[in-house]
Structure 1
Amino acid sequence: MRLPRVKPEHAPYQLSDGTIRLGGALHGIASEITDVDGWAWAALMLMNGTRSPTEIASGLRSSFPALTAEDAEDIVATLLSSGHVEEAAPGPCQELTEQEKERHSRSRDYFRWVDLTPRDHGWEPQVRIKAARVLVLGLGGTGSHAAWSLAAAGVGRLHLVDPDVVELSNLNRQMLYTEADIGRPKTEVALERLRQVNSGVEITVERSTVASSEQLASLVDGFDVLALCADRPREPSGIQTWANRACAKAGISWVSGGYNGPLVSVGVFGPGGPCYACVRAGIPPQPGADYAWPGVTGASAGLSGHLVAHDVLALVTGTMATPPGYFHGVTMLDPDGHVYARYPSRPQCEICS
């Protein structure tokens, strides 16, 4: 970095024992530094966007003459690699147009906050989103929200697959459709609506029922991530099992989401983590665990869809803090009812062990 500064969202503060916290403890990305001698704090105070790393190390030595040049440089380098520091004078980003930068400026602010990888100009996550190819399977309660969110985020290519037509009972939760659309194919309506949301995204559709694992394997070919928002055929040995095998064979990640009454949960799977079958084997059987129960509101469908989109974007941008291989979610009637389940690969699993 030429002129590093601490990200404003990560402004450091000291505890009474001298420990430094960066990133905000409530946001899940905080770091703590044990700083008995005050060296790290002094370096962070010098990182205000007006000094080069060499000048920061020199200033540190001026304040602490006992520090060697090598030690001062190591302290500065460690802080620069922490992800809590950004370039005050970022270089140009050629991959995005000025219109795209304006459209996604708030997304850049978000990724600057959560991305702990040092970047040249801060637009790198958005560039990855623009280059991404995402398959959305199912355009119902979860899928309609997920597809909208991914289009709005600027995913470069979206392919939407669904066999159904719009029905009156869909309209309590499926955000892409209106009363005037009843009887029309969901794919047709979704294509119209999403092109109005973001004309810069390449969107294609396919009105089709996925009837076999072989068909699903063919569909995922050429995509980076599968957003599985369909729930038929049911488990066991249903569409999630098919996705588990198809995506493992293709070497891509996939995200599956849905709702079971007030329980909204999402599974994240892919290379480098335990597969769906292994994680699911560790969870006690429960009714509706495959998103089979019909009770849903616009709020619960929206939560599931946007959680799916969030996890897809985290995978695409490389900002996912936890490796794939887990379920997470919320229980809407319990403020403390956060869901998280992760189990290791089973020794004999042919997919992930």
Structure 2
Amino acid sequence: MKLNDGQRLRLLEHVVINVMPADCSGEESMIFNTTRRTLRVQGQALHNVENIVLPLLDGSRTIGEIRNAIGEQLTDSSLNQCLEFLMDNRLVEESLENTNDLDSRAYLLPQISLYHELGFDQKDARKNLANGRIAVFGLGGSGLIAAINLATAGIGFVRLCDDACILPADSLMMSGSGLNKIGTFRSVEAARQIESIGGITEAEIVTDGLNDDATITSLLEDVDLVIVATDAVSVNLAYRLNRLCLKMQRPLLPGGAAGVEGTVGPLVFSQDKPCYLCYRMRSMACSKFPEAELAVEQLLNRERRSQPRLRENLPIGQMLVGSYLALEAVKMMLGLAIATDGKLLHIDLLGTKLTHNVVLKKPGCPHCSAKIGNGKR
């Protein structure tokens, strides 16, 4: 890579560097290590590079200024060779920001460093996440965990949609004095926790009733992804989101914890792939008592409110599901492969197992069938 004396290079913070003493041939070894790769270079007087060159690569000096600071301690040819090696192997990056700007986002550095190791330019990864707009429906249980994780990942905008109030069981998932907030809106408390992180995420609170298409449609128009915590919303709302997201071509990622199980997916995006209703119909058909399962589902669908009294679970399950929901969202914003595309991620808490199950499209599904895809449930 061609060097420009006006460039400012910054040695990446996550790289561990170690110089090993000279061997019998008189050559030293310099090791560059990250969690995903290890590089080794051999040569003479590498300890000079470690002591003279590397401390100057903090992003505050241009390459020309580094040359002047080193003077005759190292030849231009040796310095060029060193800098080209570091750039070619992505051990440094060009610094276009001032130090204060970097310090303000220090909490993001560990994850941004990982994106770098995955092959992303750090600035591009930050930009993609900061431009992300995600709506989260259901801010109890898994939904709250997902929203907080999205904020810690640097997602720029999160719409918090929940017209329910905090119950005593919800307080287990709330930081601080959750018990003192019983009776207040869950979305308001979620926004407070996101604000306490001190990151870049803008949180919008929605406490309106979520019982009609017009209200929900307006909440979906300007987002890149919709997350619905099925353990914190009504069955009717989950199905309504499924239908409207298909109609508006907004990706929908459902997930929730119930009993000793947690599920994430399937990701709903297009009518040629299975939707959330496809999964639910097949799940009920495969149950021990299909008729009973269907009757309960229809009851919950008619009630149009979340059913915490029927959702026995463990907070650990909700934390796992919420974390996986946020992980899938971050991967989508970065353009990485989505594990729940056409698949269901199943978490077995007692067996400590994680499995992926392919979800088949249900012929004649009222939501995603080509003939009656616009029908209402």
Q: Is TM-score (shorter-chain normalized) higher than 0.5?
A: yes
Separation in 2, partners of 1:138, 1:186 = 8
Which piece of structure 1 moves more, 165-174 or 250-259? 165-174
Cross-structure match for 2:348: 331
Task: Label 1:2 to 1:334 Cα distance change in 2 as closer, same or farther (>3 A).
Answer: farther
Q: Is structure 2 residue 258 aligned with structure 1 residue 245?
A: no
Whole-Å separation in 2 of the counterparts to 1:156 and 1:309: 13
Query: What is aligned with 2:303?
Result: none
1:311 to 2:328 alignment: yes
Q: How does 1:85-164 map to 2 (within 5 A)?
A: 87-92=90-95, 97-99=101-103, 101-113=105-117, 115=118, 118-119=119-120, 121-164=121-164
The within-5 A match list for 1:162-173 is: 162-173=162-173
- Structure 1 residue aligned with 2:317: 300
Deviations 1:213-238 (A, max 9, x none): 4432222110011111255432xxx3
Structure 1 residue 239: Cα displacement: 2.5
Matches of 1:2 and 1:320, distance apart in 2: 33
**Number of matched pairs:** 278
Q: Tell me, in whole angstroms, the C-alpha distance in 2 between the residues paired with 1:52 and 1:97.
A: 22
* Cα deviation digits, residues 297-342 of structure 1 (max 9, x gap): 221121121111111111111123546222103111003x323222
Residues 208 and 339 of structure 1: is their aligned pair in 2 closer, same or farther, counting only changes over 3 Å? Answer: farther
Residue 173 of structure 1, CA deviation: 3.5
Going from structure 1 to structure 2, the CA distance change for 1:209 and 1:88 (only over 3 Å counts) comes to same
Aligned equivalents of 1:285, 1:239: Cα separation in 2: 23
Which has more radius of gyration? 2
TM-score by length of 2: 0.63
Residues in 1 aligned to 2:311 and 2:233: alpha-carbon distance in whole angstroms: 13
1:145–1:174 contact (8 Å) kept in structure 2: no
Q: State the one-letter code of the partner of 1:327.
A: L
**2 CA distance for matches of 1:313 and 1:278?**
25
User: What is the CA distance between 1:141 and its match in structure 2?
Assistant: 0.9
C-alpha distance in 2, partners of 1:111/1:173? 29
- Is 1:233 matched up with 2:268? no
Superposition map of 1:209-220 within 5 A: 209-220=209-220
Contact 1:266 1:308 in 2 (8 A): yes
Sort the Cα spacing of 1:266 and 1:93 in 2 relative to 1 into closer, same or farther, 3 A.
farther
- Change in Cα spacing, 1:253 to 1:342, as seen in structure 2 (3 Å) is same
- In structure 2, do the counterparts of structure 1 residues 320 and 146 end up closer, same or farther at CA, with 3 Å as the change threshold? same
Letter of the 2:331 partner, please give it: A
In structure 2, what is the equivalent of residue 179 of structure 1?
179
Answer whether contact 1:148 1:194 (CA < 8 A) is retained: yes
Letter in 2 for 1:88: L
1: distance between equivalents of 2:327 and 2:87? 35
- How far apart, CA to CA, are the structure 2 residues paired with 1:165 and 1:52? 53
Paired residue secondary structure (1:169): helix
Q: Read off the aligned partner of 2:139 and give its amino acid letter.
A: L
3-state secondary structure, aligned to 1:90? strand
Q: Secondary structure at the match of 1:258?
A: strand
2:85 aligned to which of 16, 30, 50? 50
Q: Equivalents in 2 of 1:352, 1:198: separation in Å?
A: 44
CA contact (8 A) 2:251 2:269 kept: yes
Percent identical across equivalent pairs?
17
Quick one: distance in 2 between partners of 1:322 and 1:93? 34
Aligned in 2, Cα 1:329/1:91: closer, same or farther, shift over 3 Å?
A: farther
CA distance in 2 between counterparts of 1:343 and 1:229 reads 19
Between 305-314 and 191-200, report the one with greater CA deviation: 191-200
- How many angstroms apart in 1 are the aligned matches of 2:147 and 2:257? 17
Pair 307,175 (structure 1): closer, same or farther in 2 beyond 3 Å: farther
d(CA) in 2 for partners of 1:11, 1:215: 49
Mind listing any 5+ residue stretches in structure 1 that lack a counterpart?
14-47, 54-85
Shift of 1:166: 2.0
Aligned partners of 1:192, 1:333: CA distance in 2, in Å?
33
Shift of 1:255: 1.4
1:137, CA displacement in angstroms? 0.9
8 Å CA contact 1:49, 1:87 repeated in 2: no
SS at 1:183's partner residue? coil
User: Which residue of 2 is the match for residue 204 of structure 1?
Assistant: 204
CA distance in 2, matches of 1:93, 1:133: 26
User: Would the aligned equivalents of 2:282 and 2:362 in 1 still touch at CA under 8 Å?
Assistant: no
What are structure 2's unaligned runs of at least 5 residues?
4-14, 16-31, 40-82, 288-292, 301-305, 371-377
2:122 match: secondary structure: coil
- 8 Å contact from structure 1 (residues 134, 159) kept in 2: yes
Task: Indicate the larger mover: 273-282 or 188-197.
Answer: 273-282
Q: CA deviation at 1:282?
A: 4.2
